[in-house]
Structure 1
């Protein structure tokens, strides 16, 4: 235990570590605040149009949409569609953004979250193209919740035409989604995107902290002396690994908790009870609320953090200097983004999801896959992508932990 405390102190007291941990704390706060600055709302006060931003825009939106908070019935959806169609015809407009600001704020803003989700359910089964609000027949909304599974089935036929098993699994998952949907105003998908970006940056900083843990002492030859000590090799390898993992895990947990507390406080806590189907897609496969989705993404990020740090420590135990260890660690950390941009093929998708940092990638990571309908294929078998990402991370943690210890113990042989 004494050696463990000394190793913790050695790592934490270095200037680089302090700077990176301070950056992690700053990022957590900044990334919670930035989505608020993107919120804008045009209103008319005393006959003058003005633009509200930040908290003022959020307040206006929450006040306007307070009337639809709670379970969303088919009657509410139909009434919202009837209002939208009537207003568009009255002003001879095709799109709602073309309406006068005062009319939009009074008539459309109070039901806008419902209108944004309705058209996709009535997309053309052959093309997947959704009709505009003006083309909707409000009577269709009498059977909205019955139409959702039908739309999902049509969607999966379009996206997974050659893999019927994917469609079957998607339908089974969707059968667990609670209906009617629940909605509380305030949340912005920008906040979700910035949670994903925060996780990416926090894991990146932890990877940088872990990269020199072994390689720095190889480079200075301090390791040659340490191996001659009573607890050299095996025990020392475990202590170094445990210290790096503990620092990374505690830093991530504290910064992620701070980020979510601030973000949810800025946008209002009620929205955590909203169904993710009314925020992202009506046929999102996961039966989660926004609050549950936030926690799932944070938990998957934590698993990917441990996998990425364990893999980085393995690289550190193999490299003779810190430059090589850090360069390789960053290369592998960014590889899922590079692979996503390079190709969307099944083989490449498997590779990027299986990489330790695949879950925190800002392109095709766990957070984005949770709101999508992507399946990976092995022959005729299919697996939902988030399951692959999380499963890979949980397997990689013990594998790279063992490989790191083994590599360090065999280093001088």
Structure 2
């Protein structure tokens, strides 16, 4: 009498492959001798395994549905045989308990030919003025694009992939070794189809079967105001198309900021050096400073007696403050560092005038006792700094 393989797994005769696999795993976890010490569990486990081996094979299952028994031809359990022989060793144990496999049982299956594409990176060189104002520019990029001849299939027009005759569509090949645990079945990707289960016998002449080709194209990039060196703008889906016509990755445009002749940038703040003639610093004046906006200038009042090292801060005159949303939220500051210039070349008249000024001010000889804190001069400060040593 034919065995009741469906009953052994507790599934109906119209159960799908996934339902049969789930039932087998559930019973294997329950009946495996390492888990269940009951004396009858070993025989029951062997019945469950045999039922799964039959019902997971389409040809053997078809024979069962016709009323036959595929294990009656001598390839079955056989009386008195080891119910664990042919279990697949570690492979089927891992499959039963963890849903994974090193071979035997249900394999990993073929690898999908369609793979997602990689991201791409391109650098855009910008001036400080362009970083401050933002801009939209067309960029030429060289990336992998979808093959127009085969539209990603990799096959010549009118053809399609065929099943691999080495792995028969499984995408992997197996090798069996005997060990003290029984048969250890190991799997590796099929070298003929590279794990895909199918081969392209007539590849597309344009892409060589890859489904993509390299090409130059133009993309429009919008840089918001306030970008800085090293920042990246992401263009979704504008990167490399994946093999087999897979979805494209992203394109990242990285800012490469050029040094400026006047301004130095620190985050959203700008710094510049304003050289002033000695007389201008002494008398005071109003100077006009250039800005990053073409044709726009700022007025800065220089107070009489301004010294070298004085820093004047102009609030809100720096770079735009870029938020993560891409919107501008205020501006940084502009710091003007004043440097008083002492003349190095004087004609006779200029020298006479400076001597006259020095005489009027009593500055012919420097007074090293003047200008120190608490009445002390330069020498007093020097002595104080050395006294603590």
Quick check: TM above 0.5? no
State which structure, 1 or 2, has the greater radius of gyration over its C-alpha atoms: 2
Q: Which structure has the highest helix share of the two?
A: 1
Larger relative contact order (Cα-Cα within 8 Å, sequence gap ≥ 6): 1
**When you count strand as a share of all residues, which structure comes out higher?**
2
Range of TM-score over shorter length: under 0.3
